[in-house]
Chain A
Amino acid sequence: MSLEDLSPELSEAGEHLHSLVSEMESRVLYAAALLTRNGGLQVMVNDREQRVTEIPPNQGLVLTAWNGAYFEEAASSDLSPKHMRKLARHLAEAIDLAPSGGTIDPGPTKRAHFWTSCAIDPTTLTARDKLDFCVELHDKARHLDPRIVNVQVRYNEMLESKIFANRTKRLSQNVLRLRLNVTMFVSDGQQLQYDWISKDCTGGLELVQVSDEELLKLRNNAVALLSAEKVPPGVYEVICTPDVTGVIAHEAFGHGVELDMFLKDRARAEQYLGKIVASPLVDIVDDPSYPGGYGSYFFDDEGQLSAPTYIIRHGVFERGLANLFAAYKLGVPRSANGRRESFERKIYARMSNTFFARGKTTVKSMIESIERGIYLQHTSSGMEDPKGWGMQVTSHYGEEIVNGQLTGRVFAPIGITGYVPDILQSISAVGNDFALSGGTCGKGHKEWVPVSSGGPHLKLKARLG
């Protein structure tokens, strides 16, 4: 089976989707069906263990029916034609149509199949090849320094297959997501510290290679953390690497413009549509069609084809990210941001690849422009606060800048907090570089979906602690 092909089980079940939609629409105002199958391979090698195992597959059908006021859904892992028909019949029969309910536009007619393109397709390699690749990388990293107590290499290969159907559409996609992570643990006999390199993409193995130079830098950073200090709390001028930049975009103006939050009166951004919210240097974009982005896909879980959305342009808040229900209720255009964690979960408005657009300033000149500040280098977590417009980003470490020079003095960890408009309006330079970092994003504390975030280096002011 090539990367282009859907699995036989999914293809077979997919043949029934249009008839299931028709059967439901004989009783309800709008219906749709989504088949999903996620699964893949995980390889892990560290000093004392090896593992090659399947990433547990998640496969199921979601049937969605609109009664004019809200969605009813039934979902099951049983894809037998008999069970799928029964599920559709029971769902449709149980629906109470809302009086004077509105209708949902199924969108233009479209039939298409999409798949991720790769230069080196990992699905054509054996599990042994991938284990050898990880062992080799582990051995290379392990011998770089006597203070290393363990190195863990983890390779994840996830194939996400989907078929969506409503009365006008039949879309299918195979999206291949890869992640390679090298974590180095070091000790001086008293304490343990660690740092990591993460590579990720939708695409082939060519996009997740780690160079010898990157391993050396990883060793240097991990060892430097052994003498890291706590940052004195205060407001600093900071330079953010693309990794930190991305989490700021994601937490500051990503979650807060997911339009289902507007419906719940949970987003302060609602009052700022069309208004200035950031420095004029700032453009923030969400783009599920970004080539190779870890959060990329061809269509969302409601059959909307992927396209970029400019959230902020030249500092002005232009529009938010919509799922079908939020777009319908708010009377705004849809965007391809209706996503669910799995067939077991509901659709929400979610980000995909969210980033600051590239600027014009070199990183070198940004650092040189700072008299006293911190170079924030690596993010370990973030949290949104769309109503209060607060923001929390944790940087794994940062390096001191004095008189335009990096001093080698390291602080760790560093919490970056602040009021979102203050942070965005403090941006005084946007780098001419660009990178995305992948990960998983929750809505609140659950509903995990693959995303990426990033952009260029940024210079801004923030409260650190």
Chain B
Amino acid sequence: MLKQIVDALHNQDGVHDWLARHIQKTSTQYYVIGHNLESRRTVNSEQVVAVVMNDHPATKGQELARGEAAVTILPSDLHHLSEKLSQAVFMARLTDNPPYGLPGPSKYPNTELADPAIREKPHQVAEQLIADLIEALDSERDVRLSSAEVFVEESRIIIQNSRGIHGSQVQTNLLFDFVLLASYNEEEMESHIALERCRAADLDIPALAHRHAQYARDAIVASTPKTGTFPVVVTDEALAELLMSSGYSPLVLRSAAQLKYQQMSTWEIGESIFKTTSSGDPLTVYSNALWPFGTRSNVFDAEGLPAQRVLIIEKGLLSCFWATQRYADYLQIPPTGSFGNMEILAGSVPFDSLFNDEGPLYHIVAFSAMSPDPLTGDFVGEIRMGYEISRGQARAIRGGSISGNIFDILATARLSQETTFLGDYIGPRGMRFAQVTVAGT
């Protein structure tokens, strides 16, 4: 399929540069309610994404402009391939953007992306994860499995472009989503977690089951927090959500060359990312697409740029903008490829010391949803589960919210020495923010 499309791209009028990505995916999906199967699915898909660039005189002025358009070619589209590519050229001709290039050939790294267990026996991996979870819950008092979903997937990508790039990568992906219910005295509450990894061995099911069983039990007796300004410690998955937000993090978007070019990032290289003087631990952030089995790791990105580990923020100062080829050309900076996994260097404080305080302080382990505004950094998030810690005593809390600005709170953050790997986040297991607004009772 790819060869036919590449041949057609070579012969298509109006194509001055091109890129083709052939993507084949298989997915094995298991869904259970309690201990019973609700559904089982297998899915196969195949497509080629063809991106064409057309150079033409700009509509306004005399300069040369470049337009770009992508079309997705499905197996059933092959018999009218020429029509699809003509349509792409037509769309590319319409738009006037400053010229930019495509990546040329380079040596690709051997990033570890594929779990052999998933590739060989996807059904077995899915069944085993559910069995391990059920077994782990046997020893959990007053807790049962509500439901679980497992997606075990393999993707093969081959990339070629008009500048001579030719690469391939195989990646596995695992999504494990489960809900635990705790019951006590006719009260019931849940703990819900969705985890994404590339490798089954990166999920410690007994530990996860134990932690979330405890959250579910604690949710039954939880009350709302106080209103005021308090120190707040955020840990594990809640911290990754606050900082990474599935890639829509202000840390990621503000450091994007695309946003800088579009005048939507005010950051400058060498300047502090904080509005105020930092009083916390130094914040150093890498975009790391090379981390073994990271969910945002790759051999090459969607344009064919090789995976890298790139220093983005060093001790609170912007070190570089991450850039795809197009925006690197526009800003005349080196291309880094897409943002990979977020890697934050460890701090100097032992994890347990983050909680050393007369209190009260709040420890948040789960938000209902937390995605700081990608441009302003402002955030508000409901507390799904947490603890109020006062003089060494912990009281379960839920409901109410925390709010603030991500850059303001990072300027005061103490980072734990201990680090964790959570799919697309590698960094301190916990952070303590000095002053955060809590809305409760």
Interface residues of A (CB under 8 A from B): 9, 13, 39, 46-54, 56-57, 59-60, 69-80, 127-128, 131, 149-150, 185, 187, 191-194, 230, 233-234, 263-266, 325, 343-344, 346, 380-385, 387-388, 390-392, 394, 412-415, 417-419, 444-446, 463-465
Contact = CB atoms under 8 A, between A and B. Distances in A.
B264 A49 contact: no
A381 B227 contact: no
9 contacts: A52-B69, A53-B69, A72-B39, A127-B94, A385-B382, A388-B219, A388-B398, A465-B400, A465-B402
Contacts of A77: 44-47, 74-75
Contact of B382 (A54, A387, A414, A415): A415
Interface in B36-93: 36-47, 49, 67-72, 74-77, 87-88, 90-92
Which secondary structure dominates where chain A touches chain B? strand
A318 B310 CA distance: 56
B72 A57 contact: yes
Chain B interface residue bracket vs A: 35 or more
Contacts of A150: 262-264
B380 interface: yes
Given A80-B75, A266-B146, A394-B380, A149 B264 contact: yes
A128 B90 CA distance: 9
A210 to B, nearest CB: 21
B33 A263 contact: yes
Interface string B207-250: 00000000000010000000110000000000000000000000
B95 A50 contact: yes
Contacts of A230: 403-404, 437
A283 B440 CA distance: 29
B105 to A, nearest CB: 26
Contacts of B384: 385, 388, 390
Contact of B368 (A52, A76, A392): A392
Contacts of B438: 233, 465
A465 B403 contact: yes
B340 interface: no
Contact of B401 (A127, A412, A465): A465
Which secondary structure dominates where chain B touches chain A? strand
B97 interface: yes
Given A9-B76, A78-B44, A346 B29 contact: yes
Contact of B76 (A53, A59, A185, A391): A59
B114 to A, nearest CB: 20
Contacts of A413: 373, 378-380, 403
A194 B253 CA distance: 15
Nearest to B31: A346
Contacts of B94: 50, 52, 127-128, 131
B37 A69 contact: yes
A344 B42 CA distance: 9
B194 interface: yes
Given A344-B45, A346-B31, A46 B262 contact: yes
Contact of A54 (B40, B72, B75): B72
B375 interface: yes
A343 B400 contact: no
A50 B43 CA distance: 35
B242 to A, nearest CB: 14
